[in-house]
């Protein structure tokens, strides 16, 4: 039985020769994303806007779609439902109503009327603007600290040039993800922040794999021209990169199609993150090393005629 190969066993694609195209495309993509964020903004969810949280236990399970349909027709704006714990437990989130506390109470009464009798109301809370600001601040801090931690790790494991290249690629991924949410108008909430952190981890994993091969080849082939060495390193790890991305995308597409409304934004962000993270690891992070004066090392190596085959 032949192994599955989505790319040739020994590809020889000229990624480094097209680095100017990649840099121009990435720059335009980031500028477009930032422009969308500044002009259109994000569709912040209840986590960041404030709103009403109602935890209920229904008399029977399996009616989530029916309940969502009933509550969506109440004219209360965004209404999100999520099952948790037992199948009969539902968390209802309603966006903040204009008109102060009386408007919030009126919205709660509308929800109770729509749900009908036999419902056990276990918790009703109002998420105010102060809490929303704190959640937004904590989300931003989490992303920044994650990127700083990644920078420290790459710097420690490789050299500062590799750390800088990895952070540029990560910023590219994070900014374009925010831009795609501004473009599509999908809800941006705490789940999206979690998706961005996951994207950062996935992207840096791809980048580290390619960087490790670059470092190995730098020590082995001290006379090989740097563009050729970087290109060989990308091609040697390309099969692994593509296979990992494709298998991950299969799982994410299943979540997006079959997972329902609750995780649709989360799975969409991850799908985009896998695509853009794979692109940035190969087409941004590695070509940047050409301009960062990478140390070729002092260990003895091969003659530099050709790179070693991928393991």
Give 265-280 pLDDT, tens digit per residue.
888 999 999 999 999 9
How many whole angstroms separate alpha carbon 294 and alpha carbon 225?
12
Mean pLDDT over residues 6-35, rounded?
85
Burial (0-12, 13-18, 19+ Cβ within 10 Å), 277: buried
Mean pLDDT over residues 44-67, rounded?
78
The whole-number pLDDT of residue 309 equals: 42
Mean pLDDT over residues 143-159, rounded?
81
Helix H or strand E segment including 209: helix 190-220
Query: Fold match between 16-42+132-291 and 51-127?
Result: no
How many whole angstroms separate alpha carbon 190 and alpha carbon 125?
18
| pTM recorded for the entire structure | 0.73
Q: How confident is the model at residue 61 (pLDDT cuts 50, 70, 90)?
A: confident
Q: What is the CATH number of domain 16-42+132-291?
A: 1.20.1640.10
The chain-wide mean pLDDT, for the chain, equals 81
Pick the CATH number of 51-127 from 3.60.20.10, 3.40.50.300, 3.30.70.3400, 3.60.15.10: 3.30.70.3400
* Tokens of residue 124, six digits: 């009703």
Parallel, antiparallel or unpaired: strands 89-95 and 51-57: antiparallel
The yes-or-no verdict on residue 31 having pLDDT over 90 is: yes
Long-range contacts of the stretch 79-82 (C-beta < 8 A, 24+): 80/45, 80/46, 80/187, 80/261, 80/262, 81/261, 81/262, 82/262
pLDDT digits (tens, 9 = 90+) for 95-114: 777 777 788 788 888 888 88
Mean pLDDT over residues 81-102, rounded?
77
Mean pLDDT over residues 4-15, rounded?
66
The whole-number pLDDT of residue 29 equals: 94
Domain boundaries, the chain: 16-42+132-291, 51-127
């Amino acid at each position: 039985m032949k192994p599955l190969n989505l790319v040739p066993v020994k590809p020889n694609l000229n990624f480094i020769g097209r680095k100017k195209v990649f840099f121009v495309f990435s720059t335009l993509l980031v500028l477009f994303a930032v422009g969308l964020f500044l002009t259109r903004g994000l569709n912040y969810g209840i986590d960041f806007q404030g709103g009403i949280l109602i935890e209920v236990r229904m008399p029977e399970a399996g009616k989530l779609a029916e309940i969502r349909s009933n509550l969506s027709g109440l004219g209360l704006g965004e209404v999100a439902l999520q099952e948790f714990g037992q199948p009969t437990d539902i968390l209802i989130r309603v966006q903040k109503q204009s008109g102060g506390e009386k408007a919030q109470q009126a919205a709660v009464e509308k929800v109770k009327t729509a749900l009908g009798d036999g419902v056990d109301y276990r918790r009703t809370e109002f998420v105010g603007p102060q809490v929303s600001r704190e959640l937004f601040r904590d989300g931003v801090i989490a992303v920044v600290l994650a990127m700083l931690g990644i920078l420290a790790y790459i710097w420690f494991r490789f050299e500062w040039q590799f750390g800088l290249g990895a952070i540029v690629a990560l910023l590219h991924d994070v900014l374009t993800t925010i831009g795609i949410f501004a473009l599509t108008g999908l809800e941006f909430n705490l789940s999206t922040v979690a998706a961005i952190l996951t994207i950062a981890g996935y992207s840096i994993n791809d980048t580290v794999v390619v960087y490790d091969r670059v470092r190995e080849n730098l020590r082995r082939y001290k006379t090989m021209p740097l563009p050729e060495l970087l290109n060989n390193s990308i091609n040697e790890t390309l099969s692994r990169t593509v296979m990992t991305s494709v298998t991950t995308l299969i799982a994410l597409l299943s979540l997006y199609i079959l997972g329902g409304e609750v995780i649709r934004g989360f799975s969409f962000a991850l799908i985009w993150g896998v695509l853009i993270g794979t692109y940035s690891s190969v087409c941004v992070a590695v070509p940047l090393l050409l301009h960062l004066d990478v140390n070729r090392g002092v260990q003895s190596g091969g003659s530099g005629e050709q790179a070693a085959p991928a393991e």
